[in-house]
Amino acid sequence: MARTAVDFGAAREQVTLEQVSQYGPIIGLVGLYAAFTLLNDRFLTVGNQVNVLQQVSIIGIMAIGVTFPILCAEIDLSIAQVMEVCGLTIATLAVGARLFEGVVVPVPAAILVGVLLGATFGAVSGFVTARFGVPSFMTTLAMLFLADGLGLIVSGNRPIIGLPPSLTGLGGSRVFGFPSIVIVFLSLLVFSQLLLSYTKFGLYIYAIGGDRQSAERMGINVRLVRLGTLVISGAFAAIAGLVTLGRLGSAIPTMGSGLLLPPIAAVILGGANLFGGSGNMVGTLIGVLILGILQNGLNLMGVGPSGQLVAQGIVLMLAVLANVVGQE
């Protein structure tokens, strides 16, 4: 009888931990909304909520891209620098400046080159990781330094100004009064969730992230899928660089500064398993919103950047704890 009671108590504790891991992100987001709504009457206005979405869109696009390798039990540490060098490349090609002095190409061609460049960075990292077994932590770290250096070479370590409206419009215009950058972010989110939910590629990602050896025995091309997730991450980083041009109105050599960790943190805050195999784009959206709402709400309350960083660190630590404990 005593053993039964102990087993029941352990099972109840396990269910509770699993529930915290599963529903913690949405509970946390709702809690933040409730708290800041009570603390500041300007928080829950339509204008402020649109502003939040606009502020988190760049991080959100990068977070969508890095979700793919995380689900596959990989990581991409190069996203911020890849975003930077791709944005700089697109800008310099579009205006014929710096490294490409006098070589002006049409905006669509410049965008295509930039996105392909981002995908190439991911392909190199993915190939070395999948073919030679080098951890993606190390390969993407190498890409971080490579992309950072190339960004300085492309831009001459100087801002690129005078960008054509057709280039800045994607991230800096409005469609029926709604920021275009938010439309791009949400469109990519929906597309990515459909890719994960309704394609074999998405199914393979979850299978490899859950158990790589079992996936190999099932006949899945593990190397190709792992490579593919890093290619997607690089391409999405390039798209983030593109919309950043519209957000800033220019290309700045340091525009990727401070953007490495927030996208990865957002994926973790959204409940994705740190060791791969579980998570989705809805969770990534929730994680991005948690970061955005926390920063916006604290800003409205007059809390400075240092206090905001402390709060984000505490929230992330709690999320990581719930994530890991919930898997045990």
The structural domains of the chain, with segments of one domain joined by +, span 56-260+272-280
Q: Which residue has the higher pLDDT, 319 or 117?
A: 117
pLDDT tens profile 231-257: 999 999 999 999 999 999 999 999 999
pLDDT tens profile 88-128: 999 999 999 888 888 899 999 999 999 999 999 999 999 99
Q: Is the pLDDT of residue 9 over 60?
A: no
Q: Is the pLDDT of residue 17 over 60?
A: no
User: Where do we find the tokens 């001459």?
Assistant: 156
How many CA atoms does the CB half-sphere of 114 hold within 13 Å? 34
Measured CA angle at 306 (ends 302, 309), to 5 deg: 105
Separation between Cα atoms, residue 120 and residue 116, nearest integer Å: 6
Q: Which two tokens stand for residue 137?
A: 């932590």
Which residues, other chains included, contact 323 with Cβ-Cβ below 8 Å and sequence gap of 6+? 21, 268, 271, 272, 273, 274
| pTM (two decimals) | 0.92
pLDDT tens profile 57-76: 999 999 999 999 999 999 99
> Between the CA of residue 75 and those of 24, 72, 156, 258, 305, what are the distances in Å?
23, 9, 30, 17, 27
